[in-house]
Amino acid sequence: DQQVKQNSPSLSVQEGRISILNCDYTNSMFDYFLWYKKYPAEGPTFLISISSIKDKNEDGRFTVFLNKSAKHLSLHIVPSQPGDSAVYFCAAWGNTGRRALTFGSGTRLQVQP
Amino acid sequence: EAGVVQSPRYKIIEKKQPVAFWCNPISGHNTLYWYLQNLGQGPELLIRYENEEAVDDSQLPKDRFSAERLKGVDSTLKIQPAELGDSAVYLCASSPGGETQYFGPGTRLLVL
């Protein structure tokens, strides 16, 4: 079963507007949630994370929101730039058990100039 | 600071042939991971090392896959014999501990 789901395979936004990428999870034991960005032919690059005890974390243009009751998190990019065009992966990590990242299937973001 | 290094970047082999991938983690990172990424999917864990010990290899298909991390630094992942379904990107990641992992560029394997 997929413990981390990204239901939108792709998203297209205009430069300067907000990009909102969504992620749902099923395992309430996850301690951290992370977003990775991936360009073609490169490995995933860490972008931003949030602890399960928080509901918001902000880093420059990137903000991650966590709604534990809904088991949902989202990444907001404001303003979006053409260089943000990439595949974004949501990942979850537990401090017990596997201690490895569980990834969603990714959302391809295209920022139109 | 140098990132995670992987080689080769690309590999094309015929089925039933052996293949090996190499990873050099970020200096000082005791935890090393190998992930498999199929097209259109997120990475999936194959094996996790803490120093030289494989502490989670439950997802590693041990009939054909093997891995080692001698001296707790570099690691190799081997497939013997390779099958068509092994075509994928093999990612290595390292971590100083905790949730944040740093990935290498991956090895893209094509089995013909």
> Which residues, 6 or more positions from A82, have their beta carbon under 8 angstroms from its beta carbon?
A15, A111, A112, A113
pLDDT at position A15, please? Answer: 97
pLDDT at position A96, please? Answer: 73
B105 DSSP assignment: -
pLDDT at position B98, please? Answer: 85
pLDDT at position A99, please? Answer: 81
Query: Could you report the per-residue pLDDT of B33-77, keeping only the tens digit for each?
Result: 999 999 999 999 999 999 999 999 999 999 999 999 988 899 999
Sign of the torsion formed by the C-alpha atoms of A107, B46, B30 and B6: negative
**Interchain proximity A31–B99, CB inside 8 Å:** yes
pLDDT at position B71, please? Answer: 86
Dist. CA B37–CA B21, nearest whole Å: 14
- CA B42, B47, B49 angle in degrees (round to 5)? 125
**Interchain proximity B101–A46, CB inside 8 Å:** yes
**Interchain proximity B40–A105, CB inside 8 Å:** yes
Which residues does chain A have within 8 Å of residue B102's beta carbon, measured at their own beta carbons? Answer: 46
Nearest CA in chain B to A4: B42
pLDDT at position A89, please? Answer: 98
Residue B105 structure tokens: 């560029």
Query: Could you report the per-residue pLDDT of A30-86, keeping only the tens digit for each?
Result: 999 999 999 998 999 999 999 999 999 999 999 999 999 999 999 999 999 999 999
Sign of the torsion formed by the C-alpha atoms of A77, A78, A81 and A83: negative
pLDDT, average across residues B4-19? 97
φ/ψ region of B71 (left if φ > 0, alpha if ψ in -120 to 50, else beta) reads left
- Whole-number average pLDDT of chain B: 95
Residue of A42, A112, A111, A101 whose CA lies nearest to B46 = A101
CA B84 to chain centre: 18
Tell me whether B97 touches chain A (CB under 8 Å): no
pLDDT at position B90, please? Answer: 98
**pLDDT-based confidence at residue A1 (cuts at 50, 70, 90):** low
pLDDT, average across residues A6-21? 97
**pLDDT-based confidence at residue A95 (cuts at 50, 70, 90):** confident
Distance from the first to the final alpha carbon of chain A:
38
The answer to whether the CB of A91 falls within 8 A of the CB of A3 is no
pLDDT, average across residues A15-34? 95
pLDDT, average across residues A7-25? 97
Tell me whether B2 touches chain A (CB under 8 Å): no
pLDDT at position B20, please? Answer: 98
**Residues written for chain B:** 112
> Which residues, 6 or more positions from B54, have their beta carbon under 8 angstroms from its beta carbon?
B47, B48, B67, B69
Dist. CA A73–CA B58, nearest whole Å: 28
Which residues does chain B have within 8 Å of residue A31's beta carbon, measured at their own beta carbons? Answer: 99
A69 DSSP assignment: T
CA-based nearest distance B42→chain A, Å: 4
**pLDDT-based confidence at residue A98 (cuts at 50, 70, 90):** confident
B102: pLDDT strictly greater than 70:
yes
